[in-house]
């Protein structure tokens, strides 16, 4: 057994030696590893590396427009747009430009925006006027890349005054620069007469909204007829305004005056600047009271005088500076209220500016120190009710257009479908109250009728109102161009032209004008015909006639050359006047191959 075991062991050893011989040789072999040449890959055939991807800087925006909707004056609405690095390299040198006016912009974007990263640009909208803001853009730019724009839009709306029904007079000073049309926004609206050119609307020195009232200190004065709501005393009331005095104090400078000499003085009142001192004075019941110090020249001061119970309180910039016993009685007489001069002789003229003048009867709006208003005085709300001949808000306040009745801008206003079409009383910003026909149902509703054309009255080439009745679909004439533009609510297609079953729609982005020389005419149209061209963007046509023919108004029309050639078709529109051929003055519609010359028709705006 031992011999066999030994032989087996020897045999096994021989086998293992034979099998392991190559490994021993391999272990003794020397290998040298060399550095690979560029472009070579182990185990692969020799090939060139692909070139690096070229730089491709780019960015994108998450929106091309931001609509803020309705924002209360003095408040701020915010919207954001996302900026994304959509290229393959980091971006630097971000430039953001927000338009002047009511829009501002801020960003959290870093100095360097990596590939694939996002950041935000936030735009704030703080309206200062009760108007639609449109046509402005946010501009975003990275380095030398193409600038991108985001269209901005929004509407400023007034807050609601729950005591508006007690407002006796509200003069905002809104309107066209240098105009002598000063509008009362209280209800029922009172007539305001400007006695000379020394008082007018101003749009450069303004505290609230877009306008104030300027007085030259020599002849300017406003007067409001006697009304029981302007007879103060005997119960609570408030008179307030913003003033920016410019005149010296060589004489008294009267601001409010209902104080005739020797006639029921206990029922009268007067507010102004004292001769020699410049202190604000208040006269009532035969006694003069003054502020402790003079009012500053060439700066805005808020003044409020209020009777609360048995006391009369005088406030300057929200601070109570004087309290006196009330002595005036509530007695009606026939004397008007004068603004900017003393009543009896229209002397002692105030020199400077007034803004947002408001008189409230039956309510002391302030009884202690208060924060002065930062927005224009507001109007009231409620549902729509039927008055004698027109509809309006239940508390007597007026919307600025049919669209504002149809789609109320604040929660305190209410509209229901049952209110329906009909005659409404509106007051566009800076305009007088006017009764108009409102279409509250067709095409979304909210359309204000501003022009009515009949076969007998077609010539409306006039920026002022023309033969306007304003009380039905058969009305002939037009409200003024200023009224039409003020009644626009910012809809993209805010003009609608109707003649029978034919309708045509136009943008409100232009300024409506019935004067061919006016800047911003809505007519933008070009075509040609034989023997001569042309329509041009200035709304003028020269067609080889003995004298030029002018077309004034909205959009285009169909026209026959003097030679009797083929009539040329535009895309439809309203023509106020055609000089040189009175038979075609008026409304011309060319829509979808249907041409209606000199038909009755209506222009609506919203």
Measured distance between the N- and C-terminal CA atoms of the chain, rounded to whole angstroms = 121
pLDDT at 582 over 60: no
DSSP, collapsed to helix, strand or coil, labels residue 59 as: strand
Rounded CA-CA distance 525/510 in Å is 13
What does the pLDDT read at residue 204? 94
What is the per-residue pLDDT across 160-183, written as a single tens digit (0 to 9) for each?
787 888 899 999 898 888 988 898
- What share of the chain in percent tops pLDDT 70? 64
Q: Which residue has the tokens 């402790």?
A: 292
CB 247 within 8 Å of CB 253: yes
Count the neighbouring beta carbons within 10 Å of the beta carbon of residue 225.
13
Rounded CA-CA distance 514/521 in Å is 8
DSSP, collapsed to helix, strand or coil, labels residue 515 as: coil
pTM of the model: 0.59
- b/e 35-57 (16+ beta carbons within 10 angstroms → b): eeeeeeeeeeeeeeeeeeeeeeb
Rounded CA-CA distance 26/35 in Å is 23
What is the per-residue pLDDT across 405-418, written as a single tens digit (0 to 9) for each?
887 766 566 676 55
Q: What is the DSSP string of 134-168?
A: EEEEEEEEETTSPPEEEEEEEEEE--B-TTGGGEE
CB 289 within 8 Å of CB 323: no
Which has more confidence, 479 or 534? Answer: 479
What is the per-residue pLDDT across 57-115, written as a single tens digit (0 to 9) for each?
999 999 999 988 878 777 889 999 999 999 999 999 999 998 877 899 999 999 899 99
- Name the nearest CA neighbour of 307 among 324, 287, 320: 324
Read off the DSSP letter of residue 128: -
Read off the DSSP letter of residue 568: B
- What share of the chain in percent tops pLDDT 90? 30
Count how many Cα atoms sit within 13 Å of the Cα of residue 10 in the half-sphere of its side chain. 6
SS (H, E, C) 328-383: CCCCCCCCCEEECCCCCCCCCECEEEEEEEEEEECCCCCCCCCCCCCCCCCECCEC
Mean pLDDT of 467-488: 71
Which has more confidence, 512 or 195? Answer: 195
Average pLDDT, the chain: 73
Rounded CA-CA distance 572/588 in Å is 7
Rounded CA-CA distance 337/297 in Å is 25
What is the per-residue pLDDT across 328-375, written as a single tens digit (0 to 9) for each?
665 656 778 999 988 766 578 999 999 999 999 999 999 999 999 888
What is the per-residue pLDDT across 454-471, written as a single tens digit (0 to 9) for each?
655 554 555 667 666 555
Of the candidate ranges 104-118, 221-235, 310-324, 542-556, the one whose mean pLDDT is the lowest: 542-556
């Amino acid at each position: 057994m031992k011999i066999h075991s030994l032989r087996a062991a020897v045999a096994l050893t021989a086998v293992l030696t034979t099998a392991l011989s190559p490994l021993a040789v391999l272990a003794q072999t020397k290998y040298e590893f060399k550095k690979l040449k560029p472009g070579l890959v182990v185990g692969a055939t020799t090939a060139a590396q692909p070139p690096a991807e070229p730089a491709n800087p780019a960015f994108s925006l998450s929106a091309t427009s931001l609509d803020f909707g309705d924002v209360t004056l003095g408040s701020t609405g915010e919207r954001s747009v996302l900026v994304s690095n959509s290229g393959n390299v980091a971006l630097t040198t971000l430039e953001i430009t927000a338009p002047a006016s009511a829009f501002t912009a801020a960003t959290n974007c870093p100095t360097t925006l990596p590939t694939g990263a996002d950041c935000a640009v936030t735009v704030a909208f703080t309206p200062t006027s009760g108007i639609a803001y449109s046509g402005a853009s946010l501009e975003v730019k990275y380095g030398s890349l193409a600038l991108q724009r985001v269209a901005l839009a929004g509407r400023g709306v007034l807050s609601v005054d729950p005591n508006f029904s007690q407002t006796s007079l509200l003069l905002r000073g809104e309107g066209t620069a240098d105009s002598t049309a000063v509008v009362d926004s209280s209800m029922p609206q009172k007539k305001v007469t400007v006695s000379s050119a020394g008082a007018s609307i101003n749009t450069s020195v303004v505290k609230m909204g877009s306008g104030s009232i300027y007085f030259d200190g020599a002849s300017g004065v406003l007067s409001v007829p006697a009304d029981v709501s302007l007879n103060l005393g005997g119960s609570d009331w408030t008179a307030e305004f913003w003033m920016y005095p410019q005149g010296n104090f060589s004489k008294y400078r009267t601001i409010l005056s209902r104080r005739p000499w020797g006639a029921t003085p206990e029922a009268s009142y007067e507010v102004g600047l004292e001769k020699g001192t410049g202190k604000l004075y208040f006269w009532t019941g035969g006694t003069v009271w003054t502020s402790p110090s003079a009012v500053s020249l060439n700066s805005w001061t808020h003044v409020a005088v209020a009777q609360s119970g048995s006391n009369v309180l005088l406030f300057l910039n929200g601070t109570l500076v004087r309290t006196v016993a009330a002595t005036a009685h509530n007695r009606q007489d026939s004397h008007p209220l004068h603004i900017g001069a003393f009543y009896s002789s229209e002397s002692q003229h105030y020199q400077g500016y007034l803004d947002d003048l408001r008189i409230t009867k039956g309510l002391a709006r302030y009884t202690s120190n208060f924060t002065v208003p930062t927005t224009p005085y507001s109007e009231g709300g409620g549902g729509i009710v039927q008055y004698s001949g027109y509809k309006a808000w239940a508390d007597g306040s007026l919307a600025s257009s049919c669209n504002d009745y149809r789609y109320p801008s604040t929660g305190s206003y209410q509209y229901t479908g049952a209110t329906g079409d009909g005659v409404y009383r509106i007051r566009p910003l800076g305009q007088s109250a006017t009764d108009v026909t409102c279409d509250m149902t067709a095409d979304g509703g909210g359309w204000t009728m501003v022009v009515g054309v009949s076969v007998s009255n077609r010539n409306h080439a006039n920026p002022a109102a023309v033969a306007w009745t304003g009380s039905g679909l058969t009305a002939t004439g037009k409200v003024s161009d200023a009224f039409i533009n003020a009644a626009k609510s910012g809809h993209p297609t805010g003009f609608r032209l109707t003649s029978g079953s034919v309708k045509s729609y136009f943008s409100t982005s232009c300024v409506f004008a019935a004067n061919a020389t006016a800047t911003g005419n809505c007519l933008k149209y070009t075509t040609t015909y034989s023997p001569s061209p042309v329509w041009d963007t200035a709304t003028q046509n020269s067609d080889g006639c003995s004298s030029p023919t002018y077309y004034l108004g909205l959009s285009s029309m169909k026209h026959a050359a003097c030679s009797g050639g083929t009539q040329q078709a535009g895309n439809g529109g309203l023509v106020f006047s055609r000089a040189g051929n009175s038979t075609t003055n008026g409304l011309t519609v060319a829509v979808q191959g249907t041409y209606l010359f000199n038909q009755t028709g209506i222009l609506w705006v919203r």
